[in-house]
């Protein structure tokens, strides 16, 4: 089981990345490839696992994603922009599992 420190560290990294990458083009494909390469898993298998993950039932992910998306909503970001940040957060979180 992860410690609160690990959770805080992951959350901080996600918040930094979501702030820094809002204006960058989508990079989820390269992030997925990177995650699968580091885990020694085929790209197809990693993609399937990522997209079949039950994000709404993952308490650790849910605990952090609201603290990332709420400031974006308050800043007037579009749902498309927020959706992109959520995808990136999912890829990042998944790669840490």
| SS3 annotation, 37-77 | HHHCCCHHHHHHHHHHCCHHHCHHHHHHHHHHHHHHHHCCC
Q: What is the pLDDT of residues 11-59, one digit of tens each?
A: 566 556 555 444 444 444 455 555 545 556 688 888 888 888 899 999 9
Count of CB atoms within 10 A of residue 31's CB? Answer: 19
- Give the highest mean pLDDT range of 49-53, 54-58, 79-83, 92-96: 79-83
Look up residue 15 and give its two tokens: 């918040």
Q: Give Cα separations from 39 to 23, 45, 61, 85, 97 (angstroms).
A: 28, 11, 20, 23, 10
With beta carbons less than 8 A apart as the criterion, state whether 87 and 43 touch.
no
Give the start-to-end residue ranges of the domains of the chain: 30-96
> What integer pLDDT is reported at residue 22 of this predicted model?
47
């Amino acid at each position: 089981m992860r410690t609160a420190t690990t959770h805080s560290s992951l959350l901080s990294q996600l918040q930094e990345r979501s702030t820094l990458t809002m204006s960058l083009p989508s990079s989820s494909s390269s992030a997925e490839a990177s995650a699968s390469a580091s885990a020694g898993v085929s790209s197809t298998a990693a993609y399937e696992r990522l997209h079949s993950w039950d994000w709404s039932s993952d308490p650790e992910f849910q605990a952090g994603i609201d603290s990332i998306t709420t400031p974006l909503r308050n800043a007037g970001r579009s749902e498309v922009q927020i959706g992109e940040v959520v995808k990136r957060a999912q890829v990042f979180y998944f790669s840490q599992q």
